[in-house]
Amino acid sequence: MKNILFVFGFLFMCQPVVEFTKTLSLKAKVSQIELDASGNIYLIEDAKASMYSPEGKLEYWYRNMYTKSLHSIDISNPEKILLFYKEDQKITLINQYFKSIPKPFFLNEKGYENISMACTSSDGSIWVFDQSARQLIKLTDQGGFITQSGTFSDKITSDFSPVFMKEYKGLLYLTDPRMGIFVFNQIGEYQETLPVLNVNHFRIESGLLYFIRDGKAETYNLKSGAEKKYDMPTNNYTVASFDLQGDNITVYVANDSNFNVFATGNVDK
């Protein structure tokens, strides 16, 4: 028995230790982190949207002094970045140089009063979610009505309360941390529920869902359902994201006062 315990202890000690190096540190109060294919970093800092280069240089920023805190940013289309001001029920679209296009609009002026989420669509339109009606609505980039989902089926309970959504390759993904990630088509019809719980934010790249859960960085393969987990450099964060490039992982973490980036080598579990 002692020999067995010794062997297990030896094997445990021989597991590779993941070593992270801090590559960037900024003083910033960050509520959302997004990444593009070039490694640029998009942050929400209170009511300001910022874009930093991979090296941490501030390239562009946008802030409207007449609006309240910025709720979310969607960079799926870098030439039409969406900013959603939930408290003001306002949507602003900006280009890659962080200039407003076209004129921002208020959702309550379009007849909507309780929009909880918004994101862009691949066809240039905008998806919004009406929390009161539990309904998906598609709008033009100036707030004009295009279409809306019907009444959700029994597969989606009355407790459905998604907190984040994003479109990817013609499908719309909404995450409810208690129930999973719900998938809808281009006209708002329910398709399936992915069994991925306790996720508040995600990004999708090359067929993989990227998210942080229970102190681990995780991926979920949309085709096979395969999951992988990766170590985190710290548990001192309020929001986080990460990226994989071959055997390298880069982790982006933020708390109430700091934004940090860590990188490491071979991390596959």
DSSP string, 18-67: P--EEEEEEE--EEEEEE-TT--EEEEETTEEEEE-TT--EEEEEE-TTS
91 - beta bridge partners?
Answer: 84, 105
**pLDDT at residue 265 greater than cutoff 70:** no
Helix (H) or strand (E) holding 120: strand 115-120
Q: Which pLDDT score is estimated for 246?
A: 85
**How many CB atoms lie under 10 A from the CB of residue 29?**
16
Q: What is the mean pLDDT of residues 120-129?
A: 95
Q: Which residue has the higher pLDDT, 54 or 151?
A: 54
Specify the pLDDT at position 12.
41
Token pair in block for residue 208:
């993989």
Mean pLDDT over 203-216 rounds to 96
Measured between alpha carbons, how far is 81 from 44 in angstroms, rounded to an integer? 13
Q: What is the pLDDT of residues 146-202, one digit of tens each?
A: 999 876 766 677 788 899 999 999 999 999 999 999 999 999 999 999 999 999 999
Q: Residue 8: pLDDT above 80?
A: no
pTM of the predicted model as reported, rounded to 2 decimal places: 0.89
Give pLDDT, residue 252.
Answer: 98
What are the strands of the beta sheet with 248-254, ordered from one edge? 21-27, 258-264, 248-254, 239-245
Q: How confident is the model at residue 10 (pLDDT cuts 50, 70, 90)?
A: very low
Q: What per-residue confidence (pLDDT) applies to 159?
A: 81
To the nearest whole number, what is the mean pLDDT of the chain? 90
Note the pLDDT tens digit of each residue in 71-98.
999 999 999 999 999 999 999 999 999 9
| Whether residue 16 has pLDDT greater than 60 | no
Give the tokens for residue 182: 């719900």
pLDDT range class, residue 122, cuts 50, 70, 90: very high
Rounded mean pLDDT of 36-52? Answer: 94
Average pLDDT over residues 29-35: 96
pLDDT at 6 over 70: no
Q: Give the confidence band of 264 by pLDDT, cuts at 50, 70, 90.
A: confident
